[in-house]
Amino acid sequence: MQTSSHSSNLTLRVVYEVLPDLIEVETSISVEKWSGVASAYTSPDDLAESAKKLALWAENPQGEQIVEAGADTGIGWLRLRFYCADLAGHVVCQVQMATNASSGDVRRLVLKAGTEPGLIIRFATHLESVARTLKGEAVLAFLE
C-alpha cells in the first residue's frame, strides 16, 4: 500500500572523492513500488558539463539529452536519458543503473518516469553545484 508521504524521485550525491579528478557518485531512485541504488565513478568536470547541457536542453526539449557516469562494465554505471515521449512534449527520464553485487553478479535496473522541464532545470542546477562543491545532493522529482 502506497502512503501519501511516498514520492517518486531520483537523488544523486557524491559519496567519495577518489582523486582530485575522480569521484564516486551514488544514485538512488524510487518510482512507485520500484527502487534501487547504484554507484558509479566520474570526474567532477564531466558531471558539471553534463549538468549544464541538461539545463540548456530542458529550456527547449527536443531530441534527447544523456547524463552518464561510469560504464556498463559491472563496476558501476548510471545513465539518465531525457527525451520527449510524444508530440505534446511530455518529458521522460529513462534511468539505467548497474552495480556489482557482493555475489559478483551485476545487478541492473531500468526505469522510466515522467517529469517536467522546470524540474529538470532545478535538478541540473543542483547537479552542477554538487559536481563543483562535492557536497549536497541533486534531486529530480518525477510526476506521479
**Sorting pLDDT into bands at 50, 70 and 90, what band is 9?**
very high
108 contacts 79 by C-beta, under 8 angstroms:
no
Fold of 9-141: Nuclear Transport Factor 2; Chain: A, (3.10.450)
Does the pTM surpass 0.85? The reply is: yes
| Residue tagged 534531486 (cell numbers) | 139
Show me where the domains of the chain are located: 9-141
What percent of the chain is predicted at pLDDT more than 70?
96
Q: What are phi and psi of 9, to 5 degrees?
A: -160, 170
User: pLDDT tens, 54-66?
Assistant: 999 999 999 999 9
Instruction: Say how many CA atoms lie within 13 Å of 58 toward its Cβ.
Output: 24
Kindly state the DSSP code that residue 9 receives in the 8-state scheme.
E
- The pLDDT score that the predictor gives to residue 105 is 86
User: pLDDT tens, 86-127?
Assistant: 888 899 999 999 988 777 888 999 999 999 999 999 999 999
- The pLDDT score that the predictor gives to residue 51 is 98
